[in-house]
């Protein structure tokens, strides 16, 4: 059965205070006490199943304006493959140090992934669903 997969990524605000929210706003965030700095959401259609790989290697490939084509392996990544009937998966990748929490729901109609990222570590988001800690970016690519 084919399902949609809703992916929700959010960056935690390290200054959010649940105590303050409980005392002053019935447990909810407020204008001066926000839970997330940003939230990103996208849908992947036609997914048959999900596959999770801890400490996997993500292969970052692309074209750099001065270096030309590049391909770098990035280790210690949490990989999530959203499988499609044609055998080609959609890959999501997160540096393990960035993940604050990850939840998955699966019902008759859809999969839903919720990933909260910690804001203590600088990172890049080169494409939707890929979050790489700055320290995991290959040195050659940083210096290009």
Check pLDDT > 70 for residue 50. yes
Look at residues 11, 131, 139 and name the one whose alpha carbon lies nearest to residue 67: 139
So what's the pLDDT on residue 84? 97
Mean pLDDT of 69-84: 94
User: What is the tally of structural domains in the chain?
Assistant: 1
- In 14-109, DSSP assigns E strands to 36-47, 49-64, 68-83, 90-95, 99-106
Q: Which two tokens stand for residue 98?
A: 């960035």
DSSP three-state, residue 92: strand
Give the sheet arrangement for strand 3-12, strand by strand: 36-47, 3-12, 110-117, 99-106
- What is the chain's Cα-based Rg? 17
So what's the pLDDT on residue 1? 87
DSSP secondary structure letter of residue 96: G
List residues bridging with 58 in a β-sheet.
Answer: 74
So what's the pLDDT on residue 119? 81
φ/ψ of 3, rounded to 5, equals -130, 160
Percent of the chain with pLDDT over 70: 99
Q: Which residue has the higher pLDDT, 139 or 128?
A: 128
Domain coverage including residue 97: 3-142
So what's the pLDDT on residue 10? 95
Look at residues 9, 5, 7 and name the one whose alpha carbon lies nearest to residue 100: 9
Average pLDDT score, the chain: 92
pLDDT tens-digit series, residues 117-134: 998 889 999 899 999 999
Q: Contact 130/26 with Cβ under 8 angstroms?
A: no
So what's the pLDDT on residue 15? 87
Q: What is the pTM of this model?
A: 0.87
């Amino acid at each position: 059965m084919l399902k949609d997969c809703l992916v929700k990524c959010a960056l935690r605000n390290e200054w959010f205070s649940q105590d303050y929210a409980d005392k002053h706003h019935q447990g909810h965030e407020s204008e001066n006490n926000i839970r997330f700095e940003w939230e990103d959401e996208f849908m992947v259609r036609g997914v048959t199943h999900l596959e999770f790989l801890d400490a996997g290697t993500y292969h970052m490939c692309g074209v750099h304006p001065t270096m030309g084509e590049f391909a770098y392996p990035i280790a210690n990544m949490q990989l999530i493959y959203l499988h499609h009937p044609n055998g080609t998966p959609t890959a999501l990748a997160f540096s393990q140090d960035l993940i604050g929490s990850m939840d998955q729901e699966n019902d008759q109609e859809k999969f839903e992934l919720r990933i909260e990222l910690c804001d203590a570590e600088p990172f890049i988001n080169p494409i939707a669903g890929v979050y790489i800690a700055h320290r995991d970016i290959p040195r050659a690519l940083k210096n290009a």
